[in-house]
Amino acid sequence: METGKFLSTMGNMFIDGNAKIGKNCTIGQFAVIEKDVEIGDDCQVGHNVVIHAGTKIGNGVRIDANTVIGKQPLRSKRSIFKSDKKYEPCEIGDECLIGAQVVVYTGCKIANNVLIADTAAVREDVSVGEYTIIGRSCTVENFSTIGRKCKFETNSYITAYSTIEDFCFIAPGVVTTNDNYLGRTEERFKHFKGVTLRKGARVGGGAVILPGVEIGEDALIAAGAVVTKNVPAGMIYIGSPAKELRPVAPEQLLENQGWE
């Protein structure tokens, strides 16, 4: 084990002999660090954290108590996903903040400076771009791609096979879906698809987006809307089913925010 200089806060822990831990790291009580894990310098690993085999963690990362990194997925015999897939190890970039009771699955690629808040879950084969915030109790399901500088607020749900581009905003309680057949008939497998939010799209609290729907760049979905069809770029949609209201005001457009 190549450890550098790190501090155990209590001394009761398991660190595999093939794990590598950088300098000035703090490891909490009852932490488990499995085979071939790599942890960079200046990291804080909280009490009862489990880091599964092969996980790569960058420099300056904080992982709070009872969090699991690199978890293997469970597969029901009825699952539509294959159980024999071989996943790449989980990767966590530099300066990430990962809260308490978070689960980040194997095959995830988390870029630098991402915040994943308490009790959130990020499933296998998900990528998350730099400076994105995944809020408390959010779920990002498998095979989804999340851009940089996005914000997902409390209890939002991103369904499997979704694409969320840069600078998107998802308000609390937003629900996205990927199965118009609600689990019935083989026909559903021909149409199984998540949602797409183009750059700068925003979705208000409690909105529902149906399978395969694309929200255009800089479009805005009002709170409580049910989006059943594609939304053009730069337009506001409201209601159930959602209908066009008016264009987004020029001062609200991403190009006028100076965030790039």
Going residue by residue through the chain (260 aa), what tens digit of pLDDT does each one get? Answer: 455 556 655 568 899 999 999 999 999 999 999 999 999 999 999 999 999 999 999 999 999 999 999 999 987 666 666 667 788 999 999 999 999 999 999 999 999 999 999 999 999 999 999 999 999 999 999 999 999 999 999 999 999 999 999 999 999 999 999 987 777 777 777 767 899 999 999 999 999 999 999 999 999 999 999 999 999 999 999 999 999 999 999 999 999 998 76
Per-residue model confidence (pLDDT) at position 83: 62
Per-residue model confidence (pLDDT) at position 207: 98
Strands 38-39 and 151-152: unpaired
The CATH number assigned to the domain with range 1-73+89-127 reads 2.160.10.10
- CATH 2.160.10.10 residue ranges of the chain are 1-73+89-127, 149-260
pTM for this model (two decimals): 0.92
216's CB contacts (< 8 A; 6+ apart) are: 198, 201, 230, 231, 232, 233, 234, 235
What's the token pair of residue 208?
Answer: 């529902």
Per-residue model confidence (pLDDT) at position 182: 77
* Separation CA 160–CA 177 (nearest Å): 8
* Separation CA 25–CA 81 (nearest Å): 37
- Strand ranges (E), 66-212: 68-71, 91-92, 97-98, 103-105, 109-110, 115-116, 121-122, 127-128, 133-134, 139-140, 145-146, 151-152, 157-158, 163-164, 169-170, 175-176, 196-197, 202-203, 208-209
The CATH number assigned to the domain with range 149-260 reads 2.160.10.10
- Strand ranges (E), 84-134: 91-92, 97-98, 103-105, 109-110, 115-116, 121-122, 127-128, 133-134
* Separation CA 204–CA 113 (nearest Å): 25
